[in-house]
Amino acid sequence: MRCPLVIGNWKLNGNKRIVSDLITIMRNELRSIVNCNVAIAPPMIYLALAKSYLEGSQIALGAQNVDIHLSGAYTGEISAEMLKDIGAKYIIIGHSERRTYHKESDEFIVKKFAILKTVDLIPVLCIGENEAENKSGQTEAICAFQIDAILDNLGIKAFENTVIAYEPIWAIGTGKSAEPEQVQKVHKFIRSHIAKYNSAISKQIIIQYGGSVNITNVAEFLVQADIDGVLVGGASLKAEVFAEIVKIAATVKAKQV
């Protein structure tokens, strides 16, 4: 049985006080949570501060980006070794906002995936189609294409101990989440695509859904067999709401055992 995973992606939000407030409430709310892995991914500049507040809790630290180099003359970048050094665990790559606003290509994302694996950090590979691709029935082809970029370059073993986050672009930050049954179909497709190369990895890989997840819809996603967790944006900025999402995830998945 896969342990559910809930990650809060804070995006470009927060300040020192918010980091302190949110983590204090979350720690308190999630003190006794079992059977659910939880992480938060604050902005880079607050990672070390967040880590200090998370010390001794079950909430892991995530990051929203990584550079493709480990060190050197790359002004403004943050390396996988640095993320490892400050205690991050899950690193979000391939997010549609970076693909769109920073023109990140699949080839570039492959390099990020590869460098994370060299230092044993867990890539959270975001994939997903835009609205036009969704309407024209290309969802599975887009997901396969984005996964194949990694598979073709790094091989199936690279997917050991990793996370895929299926995030339909039209559902991100819009309040218009995808239909849970539809998401289940896509997740099943993703898992069977991985299974063609390695059945054990396909059974172990965590496939999250992301896109306007909130307290009211999270259970409908997590009752689905192949939805192992959620990547939460906006709703992760309210500590009580995020904690409630985690509690629902733990309860819903515990019933599936």
> Which residue has the CB atom at the shortest distance from ligand PGA?
233
Of residues 15 and 174, the one with the C-beta less far from ligand PGA: 174
Residue 72, number of CB atoms within 10 A of its CB: 8
How many CA atoms lie within 13 Å of 77's alpha carbon, on the beta-carbon side? 14
User: Given candidates 6, 9, 121, 229, which one binds ligand PGA under the rule CB under 6 A?
Assistant: 9
How many CA atoms lie within 13 Å of 14's alpha carbon, on the beta-carbon side? 28
Amino acid identity of residue 114, one-letter, is A
Site string for ligand PGA, 118-147 (x = CB under 6 A): ------------------------------
Amino acid identity of residue 159, one-letter, is F
Of residues 42 and 211, the one with the C-beta less far from ligand PGA: 211
CB 83 to ligand PGA: min, Å: 18
CB 97 to ligand PGA: min, Å: 7
Of residues 98 and 191, the one with the C-beta less far from ligand PGA: 98
CB distance 129 to 92 below 8 Å: no
CB 212 to ligand PGA: min, Å: 4
Cα-based distances in Å from 231 to 54, 115, 163, 200: 19, 22, 10, 24
186-245: contacts with ligand PGA (CB under 6 A): 210-213, 231-235
CB distance 210 to 7 below 8 Å: no
Is 102 known to be catalytic? Answer: no
CB 211 to ligand PGA: min, Å: 5
Is 220 known to be catalytic? Answer: no
- b vs e for 200-224, b when ≥16 Cβ sit within 10 Å of the residue's Cβ? ebbeebbbbbbbbbbeebbeebbeb
Site string for ligand PGA, 146-185 (x = CB under 6 A): ---------------------x----xx------------
Tell me the sheet residues that pair with 39: 7, 60
Closest CA to 231 of 149, 79, 128: 128
Which member of 131, 167, 181, 187 is catalytic?
167
CB 182 to ligand PGA: min, Å: 16
Residues that bind ligand PGA (CB under 6 A): 9, 167, 172-173, 210-213, 231-235
Active-site residue list: 95, 167
